Amino acid sequence: MIATLLSFLFAITILTLAPGFDTALVLRSAAAQGWKRASATALGVTLGCLVWGVAVGLGLGTLLLASEVAYTALKWIGAGYLLYLGVKLLLNPRQASDDVMQSETAQQSGFACFCRGLFGNLLNPKVGVFYVTFLPQFIPAGASVALWCTLMALAHMLLGLLWNAVLIGGSHYFARRLRQPRVLKMMDRLTGCVFIGFAAKLALSRR
């Protein structure tokens, strides 16, 4: 069992460190809006992993793997959501840092960052399919599938929070330069292109 757990931790660490949509989203939030809202984004992203782990343990992941209709529907919803985020950043990039905004707007923006991270993860069916094909091989014989899937997803969440803290800390070091209006505008548009790319990749992907 110890060897199995170590294998899982190694594999999930490699997965966490691999750059993707989640990384781009957290880095953009950190550079453009500061560490607090980037932390909200990271919390949303990693909480999405935990929700997927619980759902897979309860059988939803199996449904996505077995049902082409369910998988395709969630895939297109997720691709549409990423496309919306990308187009919004391209057409309406930030002109200034959120530091100049009112506190009420900042609070709403923090919640919006959390929701972007959460729904960006939950609306990606490939996460569910990955979990349902990846997690079972690390579950001991006779153990509770729901419990182990939840625990492994929780471990993934904690590793994700740790890695995102490193990313946010690194971007905070360059925060003043990255928040210059010209750099901010260019970065938003670049991130928008990245999101659109992930939307196309998800829409064209096969299981």
Q: What would the pLDDT profile of 9-29 be if each residue is shown by its tens digit?
A: 887 887 788 667 788 888 888
Of residues 198 and 56, the one with the higher pLDDT is 56
pLDDT tens for residues 91-136? Answer: 877 665 544 434 434 445 788 899 989 998 888 777 777 777 677 7
The reported pLDDT for the residue numbered 175 is: 58
How far does Cα 94 stand from its chain's mean position? 22
pLDDT tens for residues 138-157? Answer: 777 777 878 888 899 999 99
For residues 173-179, average pLDDT:
61
- Closest Cα partner for 202 from 45, 46, 71? 71
How far does Cα 97 stand from its chain's mean position? 23
pLDDT tens for residues 45-101? Answer: 999 989 998 888 887 666 666 777 777 777 788 788 778 878 887 887 766 554 443
pTM of the model: 0.68
Q: How many CA atoms lie within 13 A of 58 on its CB side?
A: 7
For residues 35-39, average pLDDT:
90
The reported pLDDT for the residue numbered 103 is: 40
Res. 32: pLDDT tops 80: no
Q: How far apart are CA 35 and CA 168, in angstroms?
A: 6
